[in-house]
Amino acid sequence: MPEKFYAQPMLKEGSLNGKVILITGGGTGLGKAMGKYFAQLGADLIIASRKQDVLVKTAKEIEEESGRTILPVQCDVTNYEQVENLLKTAIEKFGKVDSLVNNAAGNFISPTERLSNRAFDIIVNIVLKGTYNCTLAFGKYWIEKKQPASVLNIVTTYAWTGSAYVVPSAVAKAGVLALTRSLAVEWAKYNLRFNAIAPGLFPTKGAWERLLPGNIADKFNPVKKIPVGRVGEHQELANLAAYLVSDFSSFVNGEVITIDGGEWLKGAGQFNMLDEVPQAMWDEIEKAVRNVKGS
C-alpha cells in the first residue's frame, strides 16, 4: 500500500463524465482542490469569486492538467444580481449546471466586542447570504427547467456547537446547515439533493492566515486537538466532495458529513482529557477506583 493511501484519488475514472459543476470560491484553497479532482474525474467547471485574476490562473492550471473546460466568472456572491448573471453565463456556456458547491467564505478570529456591525455583516453576507443567493437563483432555474441537480454546502464543525472568537462565521454556518437540511426535504420533490461537508483542519492560505496568524499555531498547536494526530489532506476532502456530487450518492440527502479526524468530539466528551494520563498510571488509578466502597 502506498504511503498516505488515504490521500489517493478515490473514485473510478470518468465518475463525473458529462457533469457541469459550479464551485464558488473555486480559485483558491479547498475550492480549487475540489475543482481539480472534479475535472480529473471528467467534469467541466465554473469557478466563481471576486478576484478574476486568481480565477483565470486557476482555470488555466486545471484546464491544462485535465483537458476539461473551466470557466472563470467574476461574481460577488453577496450580490444577487451578480449571482443571476453567473447563472446566465454558466447556462450560455454549458447549457446546464448539475451541481452547485457553496464553498465561498470569509472569516477571521476576533473577540466579538471588537467587531463593528460592518465586520459582522461582511462575514454573514459572504457565508449565509452568498449561499442562499446562489441556492435560490439556481434552485428556481432547476425547478423551472425540471432539471435534477445537487447542492453541496461547505460548513464547519462549529455550525452545530458554535464557537467563541469566530461568532459571525459560526452564526452563518449554522444558517447554512439549516438551509441544507430544510431544502433537502422541501425540494426533494424537484429532484434536487442537498448535503454538506464539515471539514476540520485543512491547511489553506486563506484560513491559516486569518485563523492561526503569527505564532498562534506554535503556541496552541492545533494538531494536539485532533485524535488522529494530523491535519487533513486536500485530496481527502476532494474525495468526499466528488462522491457527494456524483450519482453514487443519489440516496444521500440532507446529510452533513464531518471530516475532522475526531476533533470536535474530542472537545465535547467530558472525560476526553484523560487522554493525557500516561498508560503506566492506569494500574494505580484502577486500584484506587476498585478500593472505593459505598457511596
Task: Give residues in contact with ligand HXC (CB under 6 A).
Answer: 105-108, 110, 114-116, 118-119, 122-123, 156, 169, 201, 206-207, 210-211
- The cell numbers describing 244, all together, are 457527494
- The cell numbers describing 137, all together, are 437563483
Give min distance, CB of 127 to ligand NAP, in A: 7
H/E run at residue 195: strand 192-199
Give, in order, the Cα–Cα distances in Å from 174 to each of 36, 134, 156. 28, 17, 9
**Is residue 180 within 8 Å of residue 135, measured between CB atoms?**
no
Give min distance, CB of 255 to ligand NAP, in A: 16
Quote the CA–CA distance of 12 and 196 in Å, as a whole number: 22
- The cell numbers describing 232, all together, are 487533513
**Contact status: 50 vs ligand NAP (CB under 6 A):** yes
Among ligand HXC, ligand NAP, none, residue 116 binds (CB under 5-8 Å by kind): ligand HXC
What's the one-letter identity of residue 7?
Answer: A
**Contact status: 204 vs ligand NAP (CB under 6 A):** yes
Residue closer to ligand NAP (CB basis): 177 or 201 = 201
Give the dihedral of Cα atoms 222, 152, 15, 95; nearest 10 deg: -140
**Is residue 27 within 8 Å of residue 45, measured between CB atoms?**
no
Among ligand NAP, ligand HXC, none, residue 108 binds (CB under 5-8 Å by kind): ligand HXC
Q: Which of residues 234-293 bind ligand NAP (CB under 6 A)?
A: none
Residue closer to ligand NAP (CB basis): 11 or 75 = 75
**Residues contributing to the site for ligand NAP (CB under 6 A):** 24-25, 27-31, 49-51, 54, 75-78, 103-106, 126, 130, 154, 156, 199, 201-202, 204, 206-207
